[in-house]
Amino acid sequence: MKKHTYTVINTPIHNIDGIAKITGRAEYTFDITLPRMLHGKILRSPYPHGEIIHIDTSKAERLKGVKAVLTGKDTLGRKQGIWRRFKELCDEEILARDKVRYIGEPVATVAAVDEDTAEEALDLIEVEYNALPGAFEPLEAIKEGAPQLHEHAERNINVTRHIEWGDVDEGFKKADYVREDWFRCSSQAHVCMETHCAVADYTPEGKLTVYTSTQSHYYIKVLLAEILGLRENDVRVISRYTGGGFGSKFELDSAQFCCSILSMKLCQPVKIVLTREEEFSATKRRTPMFYYIRSGVKKDGAFLAKEARVFTEGGAYTAMGATALYLTGFFQSFPYVWPSYRYDGYRVYTNTAPTSAMRGFGAPQATFCAETQIDLIADELGIDPIDIRRKNAMYPGYEVPGQATIQSCGLGQCLDKIDDWIKSRGKLPPNRGIGVSAYGFMSGGIFNWFDTPYAFSSAVLQINIDGKVDLFVGSQDMGQGSNTTMAMICAEELGVKVEDIRLHMGDTETCPVDLGAWGSRETLMQGNAVKMAASKAKQQILEFATAKLAPNIVYDLDIKDGWIHLIARPERGLSFYDVVKEAIRGKDGQPIIARGHYTPHRKGMISPAYSFGVQAIEADVNPDTGKITLKNCVTAHDCGQVINPLGVEGQLEGAIAMAAGYGFTEDLPMDEGKILNPNLVDYMLLRATEMPETKVMEVETYEPEGPFGAKEAGEGLTNPTAGALGNAVFHATGISIKNLPITPEKVLNALKEKKNK
Amino acid sequence: MKKKLVHLTVNEEYHELYISPRKLLVEILRDELDLTGTKRGCSTGSCGACTILLDGAAVKSCSVLAVQVDGAKVTTVEGLADGAGLTPLQLSFLDHGAFQCGFCTSGMLMSATAFLNEDPVSEDIKKGIQGNICRCTGYNSILRAIRAVAEGKYEDEGR
Amino acid sequence: MIHNFNYHRATTVQESLSLLEKFKEDYKIICGGQSLLILMRQGLVAPENLVDIKSVKEMSYIDYDPKKGLKIGAATTHREIEKSPEIKKNYPVLVEMEENLASVQTRNWGTIGGNLAHGDPASDPAPILIAMTATVKLANTNGERSLLLEDFFVDIFETALEEGELLIEIQVPVPLKKSAVAYEKFNIIKNHQGIVSVAASITMAEDGIGCKDARIVLGAAAATPLRAGEAEQMLIGKKIDTKLLASVGKKASEECDPVSDIHATETYRRALVKALTIKIMKKAWEQAKTSGRVGGKHT
């Protein structure tokens, strides 16, 4: 691996939005107030399945302070969805007209002078429903004769996916040991601290401006234009600060849609902020999955064949669930070499809140099941958990047949580091165990179901007379720190300081298109676009500098830290700032402008690059209560070249908290489609007191496809934790829980069962 | 409902406000005084995003009626430092990357400030921010940031 | 949305009681309001009149007398109890309980009286105070009455407080010699409400071998904080050993009457009662043998 020396990359840089955030000055959508602004609320279905017979809004309209009450009848009646290339997958109206399919589905919306009046008006809207029997569990809903949600989907089958390579049947024949298991992976709520919210401002000129908390202003702009019948560029979406996303904020949501139609009706700004309860019960969530896995291996632990079938609880609409269905199937084989693999996935419509994208996007579920089973296999064969993983680990240059090519891959080194750490722990006290899980993830998706005609990422850069660089990006910072990452990539490539960059983002009117902050895209894709723009701008400056310095033609020039110089003779150079001044004068007073873009071509089916890692969790299990206490969480992680160590560390630790929650405390239990814990009292998020000691060991690789060799560094870390936790419980007690979350009650029951055997 | 006169000193500025008794303190701070640095993340008093200092003690401003605190001294995130200055704790948050999306940060800073003003014992830091939810960071960077201040690493800092 | 109400601030006990008397038909008392405001925001509680006793200074105090015991004014905040040197010295287990009650913010504003008057079977202080044989002082315009705290809880979210009556003081007797109180709350997230909790007190006989008196109080294991009377009886007059404690734990788990909800099934709650009772009794027993104080050494 070539060693690179950088001036900006790989130094811990303060988040460029930091001062705004720590002084309370960062203005989130939640904080926006416009002149004459009204407040909106949404009436939601109390039924999981039913026909809307009649809606009477007259009483609500008569309430003092109410400005408008709208229902599905007041919309164009267009169905929308983010899988725009497939019409039947665009199945959600947002404001239901004829039928409701989940508890919480919007049926009417109100604008009033204040929130209390709007809320009061909701109580005055009379909706007559004809309740229908519901289908709630995917394994039930898929049966012949189950209540059907959508006319087009027989047996409620929404999407199916098949992945296959190698000769699976032959592989099983050769296997010395075959094991099959069923798993149930639970749901999870994103719980962004800023709930979904939007302020829409429609003016008589026919222009709609929407301020919103989102992960993709571009998607929201396009989806809004389509459903509202507006031209794409008559819609402007602004999103400067987003209070968390985690996959919940790149589809069109009810706040954005409802305040837009209200504002269009009234020509007045309307704000809608979802309550925490609405956020829990009526926004999208992680996909619950029922997994069947059968694996065949040799006596020595070599993997031969794997067969996986999954039934996912889709909820009422497609949302991003179709992507999760593909990714869970692909990552079920990860990060190992399986000579043969067969996957069949079924996404099933159910009368529950739609399931969709959430950090990890189907991979945490797959990884939990796969890694749990691998430990059971290793245990059965008497092989060390690290050894069995090492034996079958992916490696640089490996091709996943028909799917992907792995370029950089530090999985082997990660396994070594974790192995060393485990050994350093020595003999553990009773009822304590260490579990490991290996994982990998994509660095941005290649798929284009959205059908964008634009490059996946674009950047525009302008260098001004004082050397200050205006960088326009389409990427969305929702807290993951992409603004800082982009400023760093730009500064490094251009040879200036991070302070020289003035970053512009979060506004469709001024920023170029980027598909948004999901699927771990930004560092690699937006990063490449920024790097290209910076590189082109640099080229222009170097042309002027060359004329000035007149070096021998064999010499190359570069810029580092604001100093333009001959690479071979660094002392011979010029100030970047002086050259910029003259260059602009020489361009007839025009600032230096450059564009960059990135779209993956011929990079397989999934992603241009993959991150890898191994995590170990040390946990105690109380044999009397079943309670699990996390002690240590150690991760060896390969995210290519680290751009901002401060950012990477934060991403990794944050992922651990969220993923550990998925593993043992978070769940969305339901009764006939009703979520039973839609609040932060009953939905159990880890707090500071539950966090284990965390340690991160970077394994640096160089990813040829990434900017400066970088790849994904935050989402993939959501994948291993549930599996590592489950395996820690297994090694502490000998019981293996295959049903998430691993609650103390489940552990205690399993311990009792084991004792009774 | 009759409005009530309430006297509040917020960030050392004195206010006389006629308010509806059902208004929560957080609503007065955000909607009447435009101090939108204080956030709200739930309606059950669970998340701590609305934490402020009430006569020096950390309190959830969503769990207090504004009329109840007539005469009190309130400090919000906007009142932590003067002008362009930053407190040692704020600097430490920057250095340790102790925030991501930033939505919980104001509340977190207020809880941590109260903790540091009281009796900073390193091992109790977790308890000091136990009432604040952060969905982004996993808390450990926040704990490191507070610990650094508690251990006096920022004694001569602050600007 | 909080519904409209008439707001009345009282600054003395007398003023509070007059207001309660006046609005007999429809009032709610607010002190810290840490539980009440949540219910009001959900529209579950919508009183016509809200009587605010947060500013009643004479109800905010901690008095300890080595002969008479501890008196806590009902409007004393949790945080004041947690930080009281007197309580830390004489009733350390109360401090331990407070440290694990909700969040710092809630403890800073929420009060002990408000907590008890809320009547929540999962109340943190209730089991431990009952184990300490605490009494509560209630007052109305006609006078005062005292009640054992265990009799104060009538049903889920229902207390013995009558119309016009105010909880004004909590009294805890002086700890007996050779006695100890221990407590544990089981939850998944520290400081969350307990899935169950167990408080136990043990008083050893003069000889230091036999058990003279015992109290086992269960939280969140029935409609009210519950004394496991039969389990207690199994101990009195007996020499305690681990075998006996195991059957005491089993008895307590049979005596309680927990619900199934999203956090735990009834069966699991019973299992927890058993495990916690054994553990807590053992702790109290060991401390009682060596200590003359309630709670023994602060652990």
Q: What's the average model confidence in pLDDT over A204-233?
A: 98
The yes or no reply on domain C179-290 and CATH 1.10.3720.10 is no
User: How confident is the model over C263-282, as pLDDT tens digits?
Assistant: 999 999 999 999 999 999 99
Q: How many domains does chain A have?
A: 3
Give the strand order in the sheet containing A610-621.
Answer: A432-442, A610-621, A628-638, A693-698
Does residue A70 carry a pLDDT above 70? yes
The answer to whether residues A463 and A563 belong to one domain is: yes
Residues with Cβ within 8 Å of A429's Cβ and at least 6 positions away in sequence, in order, are none
Residues in chain C closer than 8 A to B57 (CB atoms): 79, 108-109
Q: Which domain holds residue A464?
A: 18-23+456-598
Nearest CA-CA partner of B29 in B44, B47, B3, B50: B50
Q: What's the average model confidence in pLDDT over A267-273?
A: 98
The answer to whether residues A623 and A573 belong to one domain is: no
Does residue A603 carry a pLDDT above 70? yes
For residues B121 and A158, the model is more confident at A158
B15 to chain A, any CB pair closer than 8 A? The answer is no
Locate the DSSP E strands across A657-737: 670-671, 674-675, 693-698
Whether residue C186 and residue A627 make contact (CB cut-off 8 A), yes or no, is yes
The answer to whether residues A95 and A231 belong to one domain is: yes
Rg value, chain A, Cα: 27
Least-confidence region, from A330-334, B92-96, C238-242: C238-242
Residues in chain C closer than 8 A to A665 (CB atoms): 188-189
Report the residue of C52, C54, C103 to disrupt the B interface, i.e. the one with the largest count of B CBs within 10 Å.
C103
DSSP A445-471: ----TT---S-SEEEEEEE-TTS-EEE
Give me the pLDDT at residue A163, please.
Answer: 98
* Residue type, position B95, single letter: D
Residues in chain C closer than 8 A to B58 (CB atoms): 104-105, 108
Confidence of residue A4 (pLDDT cuts 50, 70, 90): confident
- Selected residues 3-32 of chain A with any CB under 8 Å from a CB in chain B: 12, 14-15, 17-28, 30-31
Least-confidence region, from A48-52, A233-237, C293-297: C293-297
Which residue of chain B comes nearest to A16, CA vs CA?
B94
Q: Which two tokens stand for residue B35?
A: 């101090």
Q: Which two tokens stand for residue A604?
A: 């397989």
Rg value, chain B, Cα: 16
Q: What mean pLDDT value characterizes chain A?
A: 97
User: How confident is the model over A146-188, as pLDDT tens digits?
Assistant: 999 999 999 999 999 999 999 999 999 999 999 999 999 999 9
Q: What's the average model confidence in pLDDT over C87-111?
A: 97
Residue A5 lies in a domain: no
Confidence of residue C114 (pLDDT cuts 50, 70, 90): very high
Residues with Cβ within 8 Å of C22's Cβ and at least 6 positions away in sequence, in order, are none
The answer to whether residues A616 and A690 belong to one domain is: yes
Which residue of chain A comes nearest to B43, CA vs CA?
A276
- Selected residues 72-131 of chain A with any CB under 8 Å from a CB in chain C: 115-116, 119-120
**Could you give phi then psi for residue A212, rounded to 5 degrees?**
-155, 160
User: How confident is the model over A272-305, as pLDDT tens digits?
Assistant: 999 999 999 999 999 999 999 999 999 999 999 9
The Cα A417–Cα A729 span in angstroms is: 22
Give me the pLDDT at residue A182, please.
Answer: 98
Cα dihedral A473, A474, A478, A480 sign: negative
The answer to whether residues A631 and A742 belong to one domain is: yes
Q: Is the pTM of this model over 0.95?
A: yes
B125 to chain C, any CB pair closer than 8 A? The answer is no
Report the residue of C2, C100, C104 to disrupt the B interface, i.e. the one with the largest count of B CBs within 10 Å.
C104
Nearest CA-CA partner of C165 in C278, C74, C86: C74
Beta bridge partners of A594: A461
Confidence of residue B159 (pLDDT cuts 50, 70, 90): low
**Could you give phi then psi for residue A375, rounded to 5 degrees?**
-65, -35
The answer to whether residues A573 and A655 belong to one domain is: no
| Correct CATH for B4-79 of 3.40.50.2000, 3.10.20.30, 3.30.420.10, 3.40.50.11540 | 3.10.20.30
Residue A172 lies in a domain: no
Residue A322 lies in a domain: no
Confidence of residue B158 (pLDDT cuts 50, 70, 90): low
Helix axes A721-733, A645-664, angle to 10 degrees: 50
Q: What's the average model confidence in pLDDT over A622-633?
A: 98
Burial of A97 (0-12, 13-18, 19+ CB in 10 A): middle
Does residue A77 carry a pLDDT above 60? yes
Q: What's the average model confidence in pLDDT over A700-704?
A: 95
Residues in chain B closer than 8 A to C6 (CB atoms): 1-2, 21
Which residue of chain C comes nearest to A276, CA vs CA?
C42
B63 to chain C, any CB pair closer than 8 A? The answer is yes
Residues with Cβ within 8 Å of A506's Cβ and at least 6 positions away in sequence, in order, are A217, A238, A239, A240, A241, A242, A476, A477
C149 alpha-carbon distance from chain centroid: 8
Does residue A235 carry a pLDDT above 80? yes
Q: Before A364, cis peptide (omega within 30)?
A: no
Domain spans, chain C: 6-52, 57-172, 179-290
Does residue A737 carry a pLDDT above 60? yes
Residue A164 lies in a domain: no
Does residue B122 carry a pLDDT above 90? no
| Correct CATH for C6-52 of 3.40.109.10, 3.40.50.720, 3.30.1360.120, 3.30.43.10 | 3.30.43.10
Give me the pLDDT at residue C295, please.
Answer: 42
The Cα A241–Cα A480 span in angstroms is: 11
Count CB-CB contacts under 10 A for residue A746: 19
Whether residue C262 and residue A684 make contact (CB cut-off 8 A), yes or no, is no
The Cα A457–Cα A513 span in angstroms is: 6
**Could you give phi then psi for residue C58, rounded to 5 degrees?**
-70, -5
Cα dihedral A226, A229, A231, A233 sign: negative
Residue A523 DSSP symbol: I
Chains touching chain A through at least 3 C-beta pairs below 8 angstroms are B, C
Nearest CB among A669, A743, A748 relative to C271 is that of A748
Residues in chain A closer than 8 A to C276 (CB atoms): 625
- Selected residues 59-88 of chain B with any CB under 8 Å from a CB in chain A: 76-78, 80-81, 86
Beta bridge partners of A572: none
Nearest CA-CA partner of A38 in A77, A75, A69: A69
Domain spans, chain B: 4-79, 88-150
Q: What's the average model confidence in pLDDT over A451-469?
A: 97
Which residue of chain A comes nearest to B86, CA vs CA?
A23
Does residue C296 carry a pLDDT above 50? no
The residue from A598, A624, A654 where one domain ends is A598
Q: What's the average model confidence in pLDDT over A733-746?
A: 98
Give me the pLDDT at residue A107, please.
Answer: 98
For residues C293 and A318, the model is more confident at A318
Q: Token pair 């060799």 is at which residue?
A: A709
Give me the pLDDT at residue B40, please.
Answer: 98
Q: Which two tokens stand for residue C8?
A: 């009345």
Q: Which two tokens stand for residue A662?
A: 């998925």
Answer yes or no: are the C-beta atoms of A264 and A204 closer than 8 Å. no
Confidence of residue A1 (pLDDT cuts 50, 70, 90): very low
Whether residue A22 and residue B44 make contact (CB cut-off 8 A), yes or no, is no
The Cα A559–Cα A659 span in angstroms is: 42
In angstroms, the separation between the Cα of residue B158 and the nearest Cα of chain A is: 13
Whether residue B130 and residue C191 make contact (CB cut-off 8 A), yes or no, is yes
Does residue A416 carry a pLDDT above 50? yes
Residue A632 lies in a domain: yes
Q: Which two tokens stand for residue A327?
A: 């990714």
**Could you give phi then psi for residue C242, rounded to 5 degrees?**
-65, -30
The answer to whether residues A750 and A685 belong to one domain is: yes
- What's the CATH code of the domain at A88? 3.90.1170.50
Residue A374 lies in a domain: yes
Residue A533 lies in a domain: yes
The answer to whether residues A98 and A223 belong to one domain is: yes
Q: Which two tokens stand for residue C88?
A: 């830390």
In angstroms, the separation between the Cα of residue B76 and the nearest Cα of chain A is: 9
Which residue of chain B comes nearest to A647, CA vs CA?
B97
The answer to whether residues A122 and A65 belong to one domain is: yes
What is the CATH class of C57-172? alpha beta
- What's the CATH code of the domain at A553? 3.30.365.10
- CA count, 13 A, side-chain hemisphere, A432: 15
Residue A591 DSSP symbol: P
Least-confidence region, from A253-257, A294-298, A420-424, B151-155: B151-155
Confidence of residue B156 (pLDDT cuts 50, 70, 90): confident
In angstroms, the separation between the Cα of residue A490 and the nearest Cα of chain C is: 43
Q: What's the average model confidence in pLDDT over A60-72?
A: 98
Q: What's the average model confidence in pLDDT over C28-48?
A: 95
B15 to chain C, any CB pair closer than 8 A? The answer is no
Residues in chain A closer than 8 A to C268 (CB atoms): 744-745, 748-749
Which residue of chain A comes nearest to C277, CA vs CA?
A624
Residues with Cβ within 8 Å of C215's Cβ and at least 6 positions away in sequence, in order, are C130, C131, C133, C199, C200, C201, C227, C232
Confidence of residue B84 (pLDDT cuts 50, 70, 90): confident
Does residue C25 carry a pLDDT above 90? no
Give percent above pLDDT 90 in chain A. Answer: 98
Q: Is the ipTM of this complex over 0.90?
A: yes
Q: Which two tokens stand for residue A179?
A: 């094991």
* Residues C72, C176, C216: CA angle, nearest 5 degrees: 80
Q: What's the average model confidence in pLDDT over A556-561?
A: 96
User: How confident is the model over C177-212, as pLDDT tens digits?
Assistant: 899 999 999 999 999 999 999 999 999 998 888 999
In angstroms, the separation between the Cα of residue C190 and the nearest Cα of chain A is: 7
Give me the pLDDT at residue A50, please.
Answer: 98
The secondary element (H helix, E strand) that includes residue A56 is strand A50-56
Answer yes or no: are the C-beta atoms of B42 and A193 closer than 8 Å. no
Answer yes or no: are the C-beta atoms of A434 and A731 closer than 8 Å. yes
For residues A553 and B55, the model is more confident at B55
Nearest CA-CA partner of B96 in B74, B125, B63, B64: B125
Q: What's the average model confidence in pLDDT over A600-627?
A: 96
Give me the pLDDT at residue C55, please.
Answer: 96
Q: What's the average model confidence in pLDDT over A302-317?
A: 98
Helices of type H across A447-562: 482-494, 527-549
Assigned architecture for domain B88-150: Orthogonal Bundle (1.10)
Give me the pLDDT at residue B121, please.
Answer: 74
